[in-house]
Amino acid sequence: MAEYKLWHRRPEWPYDAPGHIYMMRAAEQIGSILGADWKGIADQAARHEALEKIREHCAHGRLTAAAMIQDGTFRELPVARWNTADCWTWFPTCTISNFALFAHQIHPLAGVSQFPLYVTSKSLGRQLAKMQLPQSEKTKARNYSLKSVMEWAQPIFDEAEAGGKYNHTQASFEEAANHRFPGIGIEWLRKNIWAKRPPVYPRRAPRGA
């Protein structure tokens, strides 16, 4: 069975690089938004779920994986490489060998080198944003009850009413709500929460707000 010891030794992880995130950190970020019961990448089942997502996203071109070679530059992995089970031999240490990376370009008698795997920060940021979007913006917020969201919003409304002036535009309120409740449905938020704001708030948001 493959060893995943390095996943438990964070101080030994390679640095991130400009435009690139080390794959173990990427797995951690992806796993943290998979569900409320996320137990961290040290947990075998949770780690496997995050890695399966990485494999899937790389195979479909939604994530761009790359290996850092000796001189600190990067070589992107072809999307097709993620269609095989080979990737599960890379994951225990998040490295890929020179033979696997360069294939027939390597002399058969050359020594084996291992290169750390990364994903591009641009593709990771884009995919994380997509994963945080609700399945439907039309009817309800994802996994959030009306009570829990209203309990968060009510002190904001009370503060504005007590001070006699509004403390949020509609846009800034929606941004704050999405930060507190990632993936909340905006239409649901407007209908069920923002609509209950006190009269101190404008009935219509200023254009562009």
Return the SS3 of 74. Answer: strand
Give strand ranges (E) for 61-108.
65-68, 74-76, 95-97
- Specify whether the CB–CB gap between 26 and 20 falls below 8 A: no
* Domain layout of the chain by residue ranges: 5-132, 135-209
pLDDT at 65: 95
Return the SS3 of 208. Answer: coil
pLDDT at 106: 59
- Specify whether the CB–CB gap between 160 and 200 falls below 8 A: yes
Distance spanning both ends of the chain, measured CA to CA = 55
* Residue 67, beta-bridge partner list: 75, 117
Q: Give me the residues of the chain with pLDDT under 50, please.
A: 1, 107, 135-141, 205-209
- Specify whether the CB–CB gap between 34 and 50 falls below 8 A: yes
pLDDT at 72: 92
How many CB atoms neighbour CB 129 within 10 A?
10
What 103-111 contacts at long range (C-beta under 8 Å, 24+ apart), as own/partner pairs, is none
Output the pTM of the full model.
0.60
- How far is Cα 102 from Cα 105, in angstroms, rounded to an integer? 5
How many CB atoms neighbour CB 160 within 10 A?
17
- How far is Cα 138 from Cα 172, in angstroms, rounded to an integer? 20
pLDDT at 112: 59
pLDDT at 66: 95
As a dihedral over the C-alpha atoms of residue 11, residue 12, residue 16, residue 21, rounded to 10 degrees, the angle is -100
pLDDT at 205: 45
